[in-house]
Amino acid sequence: MSAATSSAPWTSAAPPRPVPRAATQDPRWARALLIGTALTFLGLFLVLPLVTVFIEALAKGISAYVEAIREPTALAAIRLTLLVAAISVPLNTLFGIAAAWAIAKFEFRGKSLLITAIDLPLAVSPVVSGLIFVLLFGAQGLLGPWLMAHDIKIIFAVPGILLATTFITFPFVARELIPVMQEQGTEEEEAAVSLGATGWQTFRRVTLPNVRLGLLYGVVLLNARAMGEFGAVSVVSGHIRGLTNTMPLHVEILYNEYQGAAAFAVASLLALLAIATLIAKTVLESRMGKRTRGGHG
């Protein structure tokens, strides 16, 4: 400090000059306005509703909250939701890895068709997705008579819910993995093979570890959607309490029956899931950022 002042004694005497602004830096008021707008929107459309969910859920006290969740049809809905997630998440994880691997690492006929097909569930309204299954498997549907003859129930039963959820959620893992895998190319796999690794060893020791964060992120999103899906499930479920109601459907029924506190109590569980998902996403993203910047990874 003393060295600095002695080498440049005039700096203290000179009147304060305006600090030159970097070309990419906006004036202070513009920054305040932008940040303010973003935060207001976030507060209005994200934080406020979330807080409201919890306030409403606890409006009649803790015991009412616990009661609403412990009620048998609520428990059945939670169980069904967990079951659906437990089946559709692993299925779509496998499908997503396989599809992403095929698309990113191999050239084959019909590749662009597959890429488009993966996006289909995101492009179609969930209600339409649900209707597709009704038209296929419903009593008046294409396969309905055959299913009826063999006493197999799909629509208005658990298998229908599973099918609809799996259909809706199948893009998530593949969507996350394809860009990551494409960016990484095939050189590391070729290196592994030339070093004597089998196809499985290459996949398990090279391909999979290289995309593990992207994969985890995809699974988190997939799980959130599998538990929260409403539209498609609503069409195929039949809303049979204690049997074919998932959590989102259960919330809707309670709400329509003016059981506000109970509806919000179950909804708060889904909201917690959303928060957990967001946190997981943030953690993973910061870790992924570190890796691409060349950290210890």
**How many residues in total does the chain contain?**
297
**Whose Cβ is closer to another protein: residue 211's or residue 271's?**
211
**How many residues sit close enough to another protein to count as binding (CB under 8 A)?**
20
Q: Crossing angle of helices 260-292/72-105, nearest 10°? A: 30
176-195 footprint of another protein as x/- string (CB under 8 A): -----------xx-xxxxxx
What is the nearest approach in angstroms of another protein to the Cβ of residue 191? 4
What is the nearest approach in angstroms of another protein to the Cβ of residue 196? 5
Q: Crossing angle of helices 212-228/72-105, nearest 10°? A: 140
Tell me, rounded to whole angstroms, the distance of Cα 158 from its chain centroid: 22
| Burial (0-12, 13-18, 19+ Cβ within 10 Å), 18 | exposed
Residue selected from 17, 196, 256, 258 as contacting another protein according to rule CB under 8 A: 196
Q: Crossing angle of helices 48-57/260-292, nearest 10°? A: 140
Question: How far is Cα 57 from Cα 271, in angstroms, rounded to an integer?
Answer: 11
288 binding another protein? (CB under 8 A): no
Residue selected from 25, 182, 201, 282 as contacting another protein according to rule CB under 8 A: 201
259 binding another protein? (CB under 8 A): no
70 binding another protein? (CB under 8 A): no
202-221 footprint of another protein as x/- string (CB under 8 A): ---xx--xx-----------
Residues 6+ apart with CB under 8 A from 64: 261, 262, 265
Chain residues that interact with another protein, rule: CB under 8 A: 187-188, 190-198, 201, 205-206, 209-210, 294-297
